Structure 1
Amino acid sequence: MEQAAARMEKEPRKMVIDVYTDWCGWCKKMDKETFTDSEVAELVNKHYYAVKLNAEGKEPITLKGQTFNFKTEYKAHELAVALLQGQMSFPTTVYLDEKMNMLAPVPGYLDADNFSKILRYFGENHHQSMNFQEYETQAK
């Protein structure tokens, strides 16, 4: 996460964050089937910095001068709680713009086709002129 943020300062890009846990079966399925898809990989490499964030990770993460830590009362990392806006559901894919502002958290398992659609929607800036339903209708 910190490496991607540092790279964004030199070469701004959007960020896609896979928020997962070690025990999540759907997370493992996305790792195996969705993230290995050639179209998904191409879209991610073209438009994004890709980050994997273990929602139960114990290491502190510092972004924009703020340090996020694992919180035992949440049984989760503060950064995961912030990115998921308290809706702790795994997997969730979080999209940030070039300034690390939230575009959207997208909860749940996504197959390669649906994931590619969302990657294109944000990566090609369609979100600036239409909502996702409109984009999906046009993309068919």
Structure 2
Amino acid sequence: MRLLKYLFVSVILLGLSSFDLPKAEESEVNWLTFEEAIALHEENPKKLLIDLYTDWCGWCKVMDRETYSQAEIADYINKNFYPVKFNAEQKESVEFKGHTFNYVAQGRRGVHELAAALTRNKLSYPTTVFMDEELRIIQPIAGYLKPQQMEPILEFIGGDHFKTTKWEDFQKNHKSSL
């Protein structure tokens, strides 16, 4: 009798565990390589959003899972930026603006020169780098950003508010859609 009760409870719990509870709508950022984004940019200039990450970075994975997967965030990025996912420890060279950026070994790990240039030699992971339509760095933002933190930043830069409005003033008037 006890075994039957155990099996019954197990089946009920198993059924409940597979029941999907409603969750925030998810979407995907259409990530590009740096080279793909530059090629698209040459045809149709647009701002770049570059996600600098490493394979070992836990917060990078959290940001992918919790921020970039949010439908509002992913949709805004896809519409207003060429989104680039760039491994700051990749070994492949990158040609950009007449310069070859290489991987530089440093002990057990190393760093890609492009990652160092994009962060102005202040490497931290994750870092989100924004570039304008002229491929100039607007701002690197180091650290994990929650969706509620990322949304106003995307709108500030994506909507060109950074050209005419102070960040503090923009924040005061920003209405979140999250």
TM-score (norm 1): 0.96
Q: Corresponding residue for 1:26?
A: 59
CA-CA distance at 1:65 after TM superposition: 1.9
Residues 12-44 of structure 1: CA deviation (Å, up to 9, x unaligned):
110000000111110000011111000001110
Q: Corresponding residue for 2:99?
A: 66
Q: Corresponding residue for 1:93?
A: 128
Identity %: 43
CA-CA distance at 1:3 after TM superposition: 1.0
TM-score (norm 2): 0.76
Q: Corresponding residue for 2:110?
A: 75
Q: Distance in 1 between matches of 2:111 and 2:156?
A: 29
Where does the alignment leave 5 or more consecutive residues of structure 2 unmatched? 1-33
Where does the alignment leave 5 or more consecutive residues of structure 1 unmatched? none
Aligned length: 140
Structure with higher Rg: it is: 2
Q: Distance in 1 between matches of 2:96 and 2:40?
A: 12
Q: Distance in 1 between matches of 2:50 and 2:61?
A: 15
Which 4+ stretches in 1 moved above 6 angstroms?
Answer: none
Larger relative CO (CA 8 A, sep 6+): 1 or 2? 1
Q: Corresponding residue for 1:136?
A: 171
Q: Distance in 2 between matches of 1:37 and 1:113?
A: 10
Corresponding position: 1:39 with 2:72: yes
Q: Distance in 1 between matches of 2:166 and 2:62?
A: 28
Question: What is the RMSD of the two structures over their aligned residues, measured on CA atoms?
Answer: 1.1
